[in-house]
Structure 1
Amino acid sequence: MEARYVIQFLLIMIGICAGLNSSAQFNPHKIEQVDSLMAQKPKPLLILLSTDWCQYCDLQKNQLQKNEYFHNHKDEFYFIEFDAERKDPIDFMGKTYHFRPKGINTGIHELVTIFTGNQSLSYPFWILLDENFKPVFRHNGILNNKQINELILTISKSLTKNSS
């Protein structure tokens, strides 16, 4: 009889822990959703350009998953993770963009060039676009938690300023 209660207690604890863990997860929006999201409710777009092979990109993504400030303010902007080497065509702002090969098994998606403004590119690459798709911020490389929080604070301040 006592073993049954122990098992029930463990199952309840596992459920609670799983619920806490899943609430901390933050699933970014897909680039394909941006047009419809912006039509419903315009917000700034925070885009993280990365690749599958980039270890620094994985480090940055893990850091974001643990950043409470980022999670607490995620409703103020649309966060997009974009694989810079995606091979499928993407419709964005009424135009279709394609992957452009640069050699054997290498290349870059046209949207990356649009987002980076032809700046030199290293991964991860951050872009903040305002509600009108105008670039506000671009950054090559990893942002530390303090820099991420300052970026989010800037977004929050601009929203407050625009609503007044």
Structure 2
Amino acid sequence: MYRINICIILSFVFGLSSASAQKKIKWLTWEEAMEKSETEQKKVVVDIYTQWCGWCKKMDKSTFMDEFIVEYVNENFYPVKFDAEFKEPITFKGKEYKYIKKGRRGFHELAVELTKGKLSFPTIVFLDEEYQVLQPIPGFQDNERFELIVTYFSGDHFKFTPWRRYIRNYSRDNYAYPAGNKH
């Protein structure tokens, strides 16, 4: 009986830990995000990365695994992971963007467009519901900084509140959820 109870407890504990470990951002392809936005409009957050980028991998393992960020991004955005060296053409807003070979590597024209010509990795780009670039944010962002950024854009605070005032007054209770969507 004692052994059975221990087994039940252990399986419950391991079940909980593996369930929480499985929470991840539900990254979409560019096409999937555009398709989903036809039925329900949301802002889009694009993680522009490369396979060789160490800071991109660090964000994947830390910032993008944070429980709050995972839940918040999945709920409020269409999250897109976009390899800046993606080789296939993409049509966006009636224009075709292609991979351009340059030296041993190359780049995708859409990555250049989204970053306003300033490619660096990682870069997080926020688009509004009409696919207008709100802001490209270059460089590694830790959990705390990314939480500020993602809530600033999702709640439309950027329209009315200067960034410095927002970060000075930020708390999850006041700013983290768009109006009518508070947990």
Same fold (TM over 0.5): yes
Structure 2 length as normaliser, TM-score? Answer: 0.75
Query: Which aligned pairs between 1:44-55 and structure 2 lie closer than 5 A?
Result: 44-55=43-54
Question: What are the within-5 Å matches in structure 2 for residues 52-63 of structure 1?
Answer: 52-63=51-62
Q: How does 1:67-146 map to 2 (within 5 A)?
A: 67-74=66-73, 75-104=75-104, 106-119=105-118, 121-146=119-144
Give the deviation of 1:83 after TM superposition: 0.7
CA distance in 2 between partners of 1:66 and 1:35 (Å) = 24
Residue aligned with 1:40, SS: coil
CA contact (8 A) 2:43 2:154 kept: no
**Could you list the runs of 5+ residues in structure 1 that have no partner in the other structure?**
none
Classify the secondary structure of the residue corresponding to 2:26: coil
Aligned counterpart, 2:160: none
Q: State the alpha-carbon separation in 2 of the partners of residues 6 and 151 from structure 1.
A: 44
Q: Deviations over 1:3-38 (max 9, x none)?
A: 56644544443333222221x222211112122111
Question: Quick one: which amino acid aligns to residue 77 of structure 2?
Answer: F
Deviation at 1:88, TM superposition (A): 2.0
TM-score normalized by structure 1? 0.83
Aligned equivalent of 1:156 = 154
Identity of aligned residues (%): 25
Q: Which runs of 5+ in 2 are unaligned?
A: 158-177
Quote the offset at 1:89 in angstroms: 2.4
Aligned positions, number? 159
Question: What is the deviation of 1:142?
Answer: 1.0
- How many angstroms does 1:40 deviate by? 1.0
More moved, 65-74 vs 148-157? 65-74
